[in-house]
Amino acid sequence: MRPGDGRAIGEVGENALVARFRELASAAQGEGVIVGSGDDAAVVAAAEGRALLLTCDMMVEGVHFRRDWARPRQIGWKAMAQNLSDIAAMGGEPAFAVASIAAPGSLPEEVAEGIAQGLMAAASEYGAAVVGGDLVGSPGPVVVDVALTGWVQREMMLLRSGARPGDAICVTGSLGASAAGLTALQRGLGAEMLPRLDRALIAHREPRPRLAESRAIAATRLGTAMMDLSDGMTEDLPRLCAESGVGARVYAEHIPVDPSCEEVAGRADLDALTLAASGGEDYELLFTCALDAVAEVAAAVAAQSDAAVTAIGEISEGDEVVFVDPEGRKMAFPRGFDHFATPARCSQRAEADSG
Amino acid sequence: MRPGDGRAIGEVGENALVARFRELASAAQGEGVIVGSGDDAAVVAAAEGRALLLTCDMMVEGVHFRRDWARPRQIGWKAMAQNLSDIAAMGGEPAFAVASIAAPGSLPEEVAEGIAQGLMAAASEYGAAVVGGDLVGSPGPVVVDVALTGWVQREMMLLRSGARPGDAICVTGSLGASAAGLTALQRGLGAEMLPRLDRALIAHREPRPRLAESRAIAATRLGTAMMDLSDGMTEDLPRLCAESGVGARVYAEHIPVDPSCEEVAGRADLDALTLAASGGEDYELLFTCALDAVAEVAAAVAAQSDAAVTAIGEISEGDEVVFVDPEGRKMAFPRGFDHFATPARCSQRAEADSG
């Protein structure tokens, strides 16, 4: 970003804009910052052995949610869940949140109440507390912004930057259910009552951050890098690789495609694997560990959760991230979308900087 | 707030809405929360002797700022300064911030750059660091939301709830400069080049949070309650009194009216005292201490700052907050405005809940 030549941010592009903001922020960073912008949450010095995590995520009506596609409580839940997922992605424990809401005076009271209840419910479910916020009037769309703190034992912290060539790439749970839910809403598939539609819609509207799974992975001390899948594997894995200075090779047939994604993709005439690999908002954990540690990590997660751990590929030298089919041929998947360049397609979310 | 009868939030009113949100939040609050919603920042348990502060403030274009009234850098500065002031209001030290920005893709790049630079500059000036954020596309007005953490020594923490009958009510600096700056912008007084107009405009656009003064007050251990003046004395003092369960008597002639406020009020045919007492965004500190401690606290502040400390009244029994003239007659000043019920009047800001 070279300001001054009069370009609009849509022309500059999200990645360039975020890179510029990170540059500005890192120039101004004082002591105590362990990890600044660029990971799932910032890490700052706190007490002996423990570091403070800090993250935020903003949701805009018409871009990230629609009131005819989700109940107010679900909108609030999701706004908090995204942040909880960022804390999970660091191997941390969520602690305290503040939430800001901008809304026009015409907003029905029960919508405000529902959003607030959803925020509190998600926080409470995962051991966090909402300790404050800001309510402001706005002529524009409803905006919900949450900032969440967490704590992490320094030696259990899992950054995006720790992946090493030869490591296995693993994911928790399955992918594509949230993208399937969004697809169903976009295509109006609700009326057909597909058997697994509810599963897809719930995944899209009320994602469940993987905190127990994160805790289990972190406790093994065997993970080398971790992040949460918010923008889709095809967008997020390259980010993890870039931070680690490595490449990746993913065996596409190993990607655990959610059954609801198979079903909705079939009905919508889409490729299920593409939807699972490039759709966002799964809030599953993507992590790396030594190949011979996969079984132990998977067993640790299995002891805490019914979410499976699946090894889908391996970290490589270089910087190329490739998805290959069973014959070893490279596959092309669409990458995520640029937040400012692309017209809003509610509510496929792409966060610019999750730190 | 009794959701379900279909009212819009503008009808419910800001105070009722905030009260309801606080009720929801306090029901869900777990261990570790020392002070939740309702003070200038939330206070949560951290390490031995130190507590973590957490606050957030959201600004909306057309409501809290206008791009033809302030440069982008000033918009970013003010968004951060408001939060820094909330940390000052607790007797704390600012630490780490995250900032979220929602903007349309058509936003000029230099505006985004300027806002980011202003955020970083204000943080850096007062020893804080911006460690992350979120950038999202939006069809609506530019929204800037900052969440800031801080640290406070538990025994130096100054809450709104500590004022006792008989305490003196004091303010730092002078009041009304920011309201004068806003008035000048609203009335287009810029062209007249009033001698003190710059002072008023800078106060409005680039407020300077009173961190050194807060530190000095807190270090005396003589303060009993404190908050920052963001919505105007007539709005904020009743909040402090409500939290402390006391009343107040303010001698209006003791209110330190800024000279720029006198000047602009004269030109705009407004009452300077009214502007100073009810105008917002001064970000001065309002605090209480025993009557016989005022001189010592003022001296401590004087050693760190050229901001004067002025005693303007005293805390009383009961719950009545009155402003009296030199003859002891009660004066009526306008109260602040309701964020959702009142049409936006950029950029007189009223925060709903500063915790």
Q: What angle do CA B9, B26, A215 make, to 5 degrees?
A: 115
pLDDT higher than 50, residue B352? no
CA of B52 vs chain A CAs: smallest distance (Å):
9
pLDDT higher than 80, residue B117? yes
Q: How confident is the model at residue B139 (pLDDT cuts 50, 70, 90)?
A: very high
| A128-162 burial code (b ≥16 CB/10 A, e <16) | bbbbbbbbbbbebbbbbbbbbbbbbeeebbbbbbb
- Section B263-285 average pLDDT: 94
Residue B11, both tokens: 């009808």
Kindly report the pTM of this predicted structure. Answer: 0.89
pLDDT by residue (tens digit) across A247-304? 999 999 999 999 999 999 999 999 999 999 999 999 999 999 999 999 999 999 999 9
The single-letter code of the amino acid at B133 is G
Supply the pLDDT for residue A8: 87
CA of B261 vs chain A CAs: smallest distance (Å):
27
Residue B32 to residue B105: CA distance in whole angstroms: 41
Q: Who's near A347: CB < 8 A, 6+ residues apart?
A: A63, A64, A65, A66, A69, A70, A182, A204
pLDDT by residue (tens digit) across A125-135? 999 888 888 88
Most B CBs within 10 A among A9, A12, A60, hence the mutation to make, goes to A9
The single-letter code of the amino acid at B125 is E
Lowest mean pLDDT among A122-126, B42-46, B231-235, B251-255: B42-46
The single-letter code of the amino acid at B349 is R
Supply the pLDDT for residue B28: 60
A8 part of contact set with chain B, CB < 8 Å: yes
Contact call for residues B186 and B247 (beta carbons, < 8 A)? no
Q: How many CB atoms lie within 10 A of CB B323?
A: 23
Contact call for residues B352 and B280 (beta carbons, < 8 A)? no
- Section B310-334 average pLDDT: 95
pLDDT by residue (tens digit) across A144-192? 999 999 999 988 999 999 999 999 999 999 999 999 999 999 998 866 6
Supply the pLDDT for residue A192: 67
CA of B122 vs chain A CAs: smallest distance (Å):
10
Q: Who's near A23: CB < 8 A, 6+ residues apart?
A: none
- Section B133-141 average pLDDT: 91
The closest alpha carbon to B230, from B292, B266, B280, B180, belongs to B280
- Architecture category of domain A42-156 in CATH: 2-Layer Sandwich (3.30)
CATH code for residues A160-331: 3.90.650.10
The closest alpha carbon to B280, from B210, B187, B197, B183, belongs to B183
pLDDT by residue (tens digit) across B287-307? 999 999 999 999 999 999 999
B 93-122 near A (Cβ less than 8 A): 95-96, 98-110, 112-114, 116-117, 120-121
Contact call for residues B41 and B128 (beta carbons, < 8 A)? no
Measured between CA atoms, the residue of chain A closest to residue B36 is: A131
A16 part of contact set with chain B, CB < 8 Å: no
Asked if A100 lies within 8 A of B339 by C-beta distance, the reply is: no
A 254-313 near B (Cβ less than 8 A): none
Residue A81 to residue B28: CA distance in whole angstroms: 16
Strand B321-324 versus strand B247-251 pairing type: parallel
Residue of higher predicted confidence among B144 and A352:
B144
Residue A338 to residue A344: CA distance in whole angstroms: 10
The ranges of chain B annotated as CATH 3.90.650.10 are 160-331
B131 part of contact set with chain A, CB < 8 Å: yes
Dihedral angle sign, alpha carbons of residues B315, B319, B320, B322: positive
Judged by DSSP in three states, B152 sits in strand
Asked if A120 lies within 8 A of B25 by C-beta distance, the reply is: yes
Asked if B21 lies within 8 A of A133 by C-beta distance, the reply is: yes
CA of B18 vs chain A CAs: smallest distance (Å):
8
Mean pLDDT of chain A: 88
Asked if A339 lies within 8 A of B1 by C-beta distance, the reply is: no
Supply the pLDDT for residue B323: 97
DSSP state of A206: S
The single-letter code of the amino acid at B34 is I
pLDDT by residue (tens digit) across B179-209? 999 999 999 886 667 888 999 999 999 999 9
Q: How confident is the model at residue A352 (pLDDT cuts 50, 70, 90)?
A: very low
The single-letter code of the amino acid at B47 is A
Contact call for residues B227 and B214 (beta carbons, < 8 A)? no
CA of A86 vs chain B CAs: smallest distance (Å):
12
Q: Chain A contacts of B96, Cβ < 8 Å?
A: 32-33, 42, 44, 52, 54
Contact call for residues A64 and B12 (beta carbons, < 8 A)? no
The single-letter code of the amino acid at A143 is V
pLDDT higher than 80, residue A351? no
**ipTM of predicted complex:** 0.88
Asked if A131 lies within 8 A of B107 by C-beta distance, the reply is: no
Cα→Cα distances B145→A160, B100, B297, Å: 26, 5, 34
Mean pLDDT of chain B: 88
A322 part of contact set with chain B, CB < 8 Å: no
Q: Chain A contacts of B44, Cβ < 8 Å?
A: 95-96, 129, 131, 149
Adjacency order of strands within the sheet including A321-324 = A223-228, A285-289, A168-172, A309-316, A247-251, A321-324, A330-331
Q: Chain A contacts of B99, Cβ < 8 Å?
A: 56
The ranges of chain B annotated as CATH 3.30.1330.10 are 34-155
> Element (H or E) spanning A9, and its range?
helix A9-12
Q: Chain B contacts of A45, Cβ < 8 Å?
A: none
CATH code for residues B34-155: 3.30.1330.10
A55 part of contact set with chain B, CB < 8 Å: yes
pLDDT higher than 50, residue B68? yes
Residue A119, both tokens: 């925020």
Query: Alpha helices of A58-188 — where are they, by DSSP H?
Result: 72-88, 109-125, 177-187
Query: Alpha helices of chain B — where are they, by DSSP H?
Result: 9-12, 14-27, 72-88, 109-125, 177-187, 197-205, 211-220, 233-244, 259-268, 272-278, 294-302
Judged by DSSP in three states, B130 sits in strand
Measured between CA atoms, the residue of chain A closest to residue B4 is: A110
A152 part of contact set with chain B, CB < 8 Å: no
Q: Chain B contacts of A149, Cβ < 8 Å?
A: 44, 52, 54, 149
Supply the pLDDT for residue A269: 92
Supply the pLDDT for residue A307: 96
A23 part of contact set with chain B, CB < 8 Å: no
Measured between CA atoms, the residue of chain B closest to residue A61 is: B138
B73 part of contact set with chain A, CB < 8 Å: no
Q: Who's near A76: CB < 8 A, 6+ residues apart?
A: A114, A115, A116, A117, A118, A119, A120, A121, A122, A144
B6 part of contact set with chain A, CB < 8 Å: yes
Q: Which of B102, B127, B355 sits opposite A30 (nearest CB)?
A: B127
Q: How many CB atoms lie within 10 A of CB B248?
A: 25
Measured between CA atoms, the residue of chain A closest to residue B352 is: A135
CA of A294 vs chain B CAs: smallest distance (Å):
31
Q: Which of A60, A107, A131 sits opposite B102 (nearest CB)?
A: A60
Q: How confident is the model at residue B46 (pLDDT cuts 50, 70, 90)?
A: confident
- Section B231-257 average pLDDT: 96
Residue B176 to residue B198: CA distance in whole angstroms: 14
Residue position matching structure tokens 């669409």: A334
Q: Chain B contacts of A152, Cβ < 8 Å?
A: none
Supply the pLDDT for residue B319: 95
Residue of higher predicted confidence among A176 and B338:
A176
Residue B37, both tokens: 């919603």
The single-letter code of the amino acid at B313 is G
Residue B167 to residue B291: CA distance in whole angstroms: 6
Q: What angle do CA A220, A223, A228 make, to 5 degrees?
A: 115
Lowest mean pLDDT among A297-301, A304-308, B253-257, B339-343: B339-343
Supply the pLDDT for residue A133: 86
Measured between CA atoms, the residue of chain B closest to residue A116 is: B21
Cα→Cα distances B266→A237, B176, B194, B335, Å: 62, 13, 11, 21
Dihedral angle sign, alpha carbons of residues B24, A58, B69, B122: positive
- Section B88-97 average pLDDT: 93
Supply the pLDDT for residue A50: 83
Query: Alpha helices of A165-317 — where are they, by DSSP H?
Result: 177-187, 197-205, 211-220, 233-244, 259-268, 272-278, 294-302
Q: Chain B contacts of A44, Cβ < 8 Å?
A: 95-96, 129, 131, 149
The closest alpha carbon to A241, from A182, A278, A185, A286, belongs to A286
Burial-class residue B332 by CB neighbours within 10 Å (0-12, 13-18, 19+): exposed
Contact call for residues A296 and A216 (beta carbons, < 8 A)? no
Q: Chain B contacts of A55, Cβ < 8 Å?
A: 98, 132
